[in-house]
Amino acid sequence: MRVGPDAYLLLSAILFGIGVAGVLIRRNAIVVFMCIELMLNAVNLSFITFSKTNGALDGQVLAFFVMVVAAAEVVVGLGILVVIFRKRSSTSVDDVNLLKG
């Protein structure tokens, strides 16, 4: 018995769903960031599974670029979080309400 691509795609969907639920439920901005990383990784798993089903390496190259963009996003995002923390002394997403109407 072998592990088919469907198993990996299902696992990827479950991990993505957990990430979505985390973004919607959690208040702490850093944990929300981690959930976004989880979603990016779930999509990477799909990319690499499809790379295998297609017999081509383009999916792996795309996953590599997703990692590069994720690294850049984390650096800027955490920088913004540190600035917000300096102004408000909190990392809760509810405290960032300056633009609220």
Partner 1 sequence: MTPVLAATASEQAELITFIVLAPLSVVTAIGMVLSRNAIYSALLLVVNFFCLAGFYVLLEAQFVAAVQVIVYAGAIMVLFLFVLMLLGVESQESVRETIRGQRPAAVLLTLGLLVAIVAALLAGVFDTAPASLAAANQGGNVQAVGRLLFTHYTFAFETAGVLLVVAAVGALVLGKRQP
Q: Is 25 in the site for partner 1 (CB under 8 A)?
A: yes
Q: Is 65 in the site for partner 1 (CB under 8 A)?
A: yes
Distance, CA of 24 to CA of 17 (rounded, Å):
11
Q: Is 82 in the site for partner 1 (CB under 8 A)?
A: yes
Indicate the angle between helix axes 58-88 and 29-54, nearest 10 degrees. 180
Q: Is 87 in the site for partner 1 (CB under 8 A)?
A: no
Q: How far is the CB of 68 from partner 1 (least distance, A)?
A: 4
Alpha helices in the chain (DSSP H): 5-25, 29-54, 58-88
Q: How far is the CB of 35 from partner 1 (least distance, A)?
A: 7
